Amino acid sequence: MELKFVKIFSGLLVLNLVLSPVLGNLYKRESEHAARDPREIGQPVGEVDHQIGNLRGQTGEGYSLKVLIGTPPQELNVLIDTGSSNFAVACSQNDNIDTYFRKDKSSTYVEVGTAVNVPYTVGSWSGTLGRDNVTIATMPGSMVEANIACINEAENFYINGSNWQGILGLAYTDIARPDSSIEPYFDSLVKDGKFPNFFGVQLCGLGYISPNPDKMTGGSIVFGSLAHSLYHSELYATPLYKEWFYEVILVDVEYNFEKTIVDTGTTNLRLPRRVFTKLVHMMKQQITNSEWLHEGFWTGIENLCWREGQAPYGDFPDVSVVLPINNTAAFRIMVTPQQYLRWVGDDNDDKPENDCFKLAISGMETGNFMDCAYKKPKNHDRTLTIVGYVMAGICGICVLPLIFLIAQWQCRRLRCGRKLLRQNSDSNDLMNTS
């Protein structure tokens, strides 16, 4: 079993890769490297250079990677998502996208035909499985034949104007649809010998591109290499709690709670309701004159707007997040207001001269994780149900002899009772006769 690490560096929140202005890396690693310092990992320098800066996006709409699919290659952009495992692209027209994969135009496309449906926290898609050649556009030597889900129907999945037409799931096979036999794209790359079994993600938000009149977000996803040029301070690692999503443990956000999920495909840092309520209470205490922050801002319903370039970041506190290194050590990282105040985009500003923001931290009713966008099939629930039925059957078998004995006892008791009644009746008759 391999060990996967989440890398934290540059003093920013990397655990929540979904926050736009975040700087961080997420890596898979082979088990034989588990005891090694991550900085010892070798790298093919040329490959890393080609991969730096290969992500683009817009605030709140995710980060996309350019890929080439089929023969001749068709160019599409796919959302990178560590919260799911399927590689899926649009194969039919949709009002929210401007292009799609035409499988009938690819001479190497192989139709598998298996139906697949993936629901998310918001939205879903369905289609059929196939296989074809897939290449990362910035890395010509990365071509591999991979599983592709052709999306034929989608509901609230594509984002109008986001410029991506599919999704690249980078999580474990456990959450692949329709079942874990579907090999994820990254696993195909590793199996084919294209890369060692680890990758890194750096999401930099609006500050990555300069000048940036269109306010695009940017970053990098680096396969098989540790990009030393992307960080300048000490590199930390926290182990994964469970290998399905990238599930790690947060040991403190002012006070303890349990597990969380690192997901590049979502927008907010989501906390259990009790943790979120406590955090908001403490933030209000630290903000001078917090009464001007209406309740709708804290619940994520309403925006806060200021004159362009005049957002009062200094009035908001930093939020401290702590992750374990091992059983005896941990490290603390800070989430700054520039990270948790998310710009909502020009289309959502109340006035042309204003910038408006939402709180990119929210509460959730169940679970202890960061906005898990993908709904995992409840295999564990099904397993527990099966175990329950088996145990009930065993208990039934054990109880049967006892029921049989009780039934025998009842029968004997009834027979004896009837016999006694007959004896009493005979005695009464004799007495009456006398």
Encode pLDDT of 121-176 as tens digits: 778 999 999 999 999 998 888 999 999 999 999 999 998 777 899 999 999 999 99
Q: Which tokens belong to 368?
A: 């202890």
Which residues, including other chains, have CB under 8 Å from residue 247's CB and lie 6 or more apart?
A: 240, 241, 259, 260, 261, 262, 369
pLDDT at 410 over 80: no
407 backbone dihedrals φ, ψ, rounded to 5°: -65, -45
- How far is it, in rounded angstroms, from Cα 368 to Cα 253? 12
Which residues, including other chains, have CB under 8 Å from residue 171's CB and lie 6 or more apart?
A: 81, 82, 83, 84, 85, 184, 244, 245, 246, 374
- How far is it, in rounded angstroms, from Cα 146 to Cα 31? 24
* pTM of the predicted protein model: 0.68
Higher pLDDT, 65 or 433: 65
Nearest to 374 by CA among 65, 21, 17, 117: 117
Higher pLDDT, 4 or 241: 241
| Residue 103: per-residue pLDDT | 96
Cβ–Cβ under 8 Å, residues 2 and 30: yes
Tell me the residue type at 56.
R
Nearest to 271 by CA among 327, 340, 333: 340
Tell me the residue type at 332.
R
How far from the centroid of its chain's Cα atoms is residue 207's Cα? Answer: 25
Q: What residues pair up with 222 in beta bridges, in sequence order?
A: 200
- How far is it, in rounded angstroms, from Cα 169 to Cα 89? 11
Is residue 81 flagged as an active site residue? Answer: yes
How far from the centroid of its chain's Cα atoms is residue 359's Cα? Answer: 20
Higher pLDDT, 44 or 310: 310
If pLDDT is split at 50, 70 and 90, which confidence band does 86 have? very high
Share of the chain above pLDDT 90, in %: 26
Cβ–Cβ under 8 Å, residues 355 and 154: no
If pLDDT is split at 50, 70 and 90, which confidence band does 69 have? very high
Cβ–Cβ under 8 Å, residues 97 and 85: no
Averaged pLDDT of the chain: 75
Exposure string over 221-232, b if 16+ CB within 10 A, otherwise e? bbbbbbbeebbe
Cβ–Cβ under 8 Å, residues 336 and 314: no
Question: In 3-state terms, what secondary structure has residue 30?
Answer: coil
pLDDT at 211 over 70: no
DSSP state of 362: E
Q: What is the mean pLDDT of residues 38-62?
A: 69
DSSP state of 57: E
Instruction: List the single range of 259-273, 305-319, 327-341 with lowest mean pLDDT.
Output: 259-273
Instruction: List the single range of 54-58, 114-118, 152-156, 385-389 with lowest mean pLDDT.
Output: 385-389
Is residue 429 flagged as an active site residue? Answer: no
Nearest to 165 by CA among 72, 62, 70, 245: 62
- How far is it, in rounded angstroms, from Cα 212 to Cα 111? 42
| Residue 392: per-residue pLDDT | 66
Which candidate in 132, 263, 355, 371 is catalytic? 263
Phi-psi region of 11 (alpha: psi -120 to 50; beta: other; left: phi over 0): left
Highest mean pLDDT among 14-18, 99-103, 395-399: 99-103
- How far is it, in rounded angstroms, from Cα 296 to Cα 192? 51
Query: Residues, the chain, total?
Result: 434
Helices marked H in 176-322: 185-191, 273-286, 295-298
| Residue 418: per-residue pLDDT | 53
- How far is it, in rounded angstroms, from Cα 338 to Cα 23? 12
Sign of CA dihedral 27, 28, 30, 35: positive
